[in-house]
Structure 1
Amino acid sequence: MAKVSFVDETTAGAREPAWALEIFEERLTLRELVRRRIFQEVAEYNASRSGPFRGLVQPTRTERALNGDRESAPPRRVDPDRQVALAEEAFARNGFVVLVGDRQVDDLDQVVDLGRDTEVTFLKLVPLVGG
C-alpha cells in the first residue's frame, strides 16, 4: 500500500499544505490518480459543505467576476465526474503540470510507480500578464 501526498503549488510561489491518500495499488495511470484525488476532495466537501469548494480545478478570476460572488450563496453539491472532466481538460491545455516525486508526467495515460511515501505535486500555471 502506498501513502500518496498531494501538494498544490503555483508558479507564483504559493504552496498549499500537503494531504495524503492511501492507495492500495503500486502502479496507476496518472488519469486514475487524478480521478481518485478529485473524488476524495469532492466527497469531503460534499460531506461538510463548509465554505467554497477548494479542489484541483477552480474558476478563474474572470469567471468569478462574470458569475458573481458565489461564496455568499448556499453551498451546492459538487459533481465529482464533472470535476474530473474539467481537470482532464485543464491538463490537456497545460493549466497545470504534475510531478510524481521529481519527475514530470506529461500524459494522463502514463503509468506511475507509487512508493510508500510518494509526493505528487500539482503545479498550477499562472498566466503571464499581457500574454
Structure 2
Amino acid sequence: MGTVTFVDETTTGGRTAGPRLPVTEERLTLRELIRRRVAHEADGEAAFARAVEAFGRNGFLVLVGDRQVEELDDTVTVGPETEVVFLRLVPLVGG
C-alpha cells in the first residue's frame, strides 16, 4: 500500500499541503486520483465534473515526481510516498 500526498501550488510560488490518502493500488489513472481527492474534500459528482473540466481547460497542471501527467487516462504509479502536485495556473491580467 502507498500514500499519496496532494500539494497545491501556484505559479507565483505559493505551496499548500493538501490531504494524504492511502492507496492500495500500485497504479491509478489521473482521473481516479482527481476523483479520490475531490471525494475527500467535497461532496458529489458535480465537484468532480468541475475539477475535470478545469483540468481540460488548463486551469491546472498535475505533476507526479518530475513528470507532468497530461491526460486524464494516463497512469500514475503510486509508491510508498507519492507526491501529486496540482499547479494552478494564474491567467495574465487582460489576457
Normalized against structure 2, the TM-score is what? 0.95
* Residues 61-100 of structure 1 mapped to structure 2, 5 A cutoff: 79-100=43-64
Match of residue 20 from structure 2: 20
Match of residue 128 from structure 1: 92
Q: Structure 1 unaligned runs (5+)?
A: 43-78
| RMSD between superposed Cα atoms in Å | 0.9
Distance 1:30 1:91 in 2: 10
Letter in 2 for 1:128: L
Question: Do structure 1's residue 114 and structure 2's residue 64 form an aligned pair?
Answer: no
Answer with 1 or 2: which has the greater Rg.
1
Q: Secondary structure at the match of 2:68?
A: strand
Question: Do structure 1's residue 34 and structure 2's residue 34 form an aligned pair?
Answer: yes
Letter in 1 for 2:9: E
Distance 1:40 1:87 in 2: 13
Q: Structure 2 unaligned runs (5+)?
A: none
Question: Do structure 1's residue 101 and structure 2's residue 88 form an aligned pair?
Answer: no
Question: 1:23-61 deviations in whole A, cap 9, x for unaligned?
Answer: 11000000001000110112xxxxxxxxxxxxxxxxxxx
The ranges of structure 1 where at least 4 consecutive aligned residues each deviate by more than 4 angstroms after the TM superposition are none
Q: CA deviation at 1:101?
A: 1.1
User: Number of residues paired by the alignment?
Assistant: 95
Quick check: which one's helix share is greater? Answer: 1
Quick check: which one's strand share is greater? Answer: 2
Letter in 1 for 2:23: I
